[in-house]
Structure 1
Amino acid sequence: MKRLPTHPTAKNPPEQFTGDVWVDPIAAPQEPSQRMVVAMVRFAPGARTAWHSHVNGQTLHVTSGAALIGTRDGSVVRATPGQTVYCPPGEEHWHGAAPDHFMEHLAMFEHGDDPATSATWREHVTDEDFDAATATTAVAPTAED
């Protein structure tokens, strides 16, 4: 067993995010797996990721606020503290804070064989698309739904 080093909070890059977003790394790949990544990510109201996908999928667990998670087919779910949303491998999606709340979530994924290609980043979500998403959200369905 070993205690891992603490990393300072960092602001996420504007090339991949709209608005103010901060990340605190929690777990980075360790021997022998070299795959697991976990981070606490905090979004200011209305802040969001650009469109992206993960080679091995991504799990988002909301710890505070109200999250919006959207997919290319136009589906958008609203998730609140304690809810977890899974985005399958290769699914293009975005996630961020509702326009009237800060939001914090744990972002979890596994690197693929090449860590540099574990996430594929695309264009920003437009303000028009974000505004439309906020008007049509539902509480995230559970696996039983």
Structure 2
Amino acid sequence: MRIGELSRRTGVNAHQLRYYEAQGLLTAERGTNGYRDYDETAVLRVKQIRHLLGARLSSEDIAYLLPCAVGEAPELPGCPELLAAMRARLRRLEDQLDRLAQSRDALADYIDAAERTGDENYPPFDDADLEPVPA
């Protein structure tokens, strides 16, 4: 099937399908005319990719998991290498959450301390002047 049909059958636009292919998540044969030709398994593969992206996994993580994926949800059988990779990803996420919680708590403490002092000498403050805080 061509990319337009795959897009219609999965609800994923052609631009995203090309991106998945560029990331090595999806493969297509090329006809003599240069058009992509996907087989029937591509529909399931795209659904799996969408579910894994919904779990906020990176393209790199998804590329590692897809060969083990079974079904649309997908299920991921408990092979030792796969479990080790998922545990490592979970540890990284937990570390990020810990750092964010520490930052949140410190900021809340600074705000609380500033509000307690009640100093009227602060210059006017406009939230629009704030720069985004890097994560």
Tell which has more relative contact order, 1 or 2 (C-alpha 8 A, sep 6+): 1
- TM-score normalised by length of structure 1: 0.19
- TM-score normalised by length of structure 2: 0.20
Q: Which has the higher strand share?
A: 1
Q: Which has the higher helix share?
A: 2
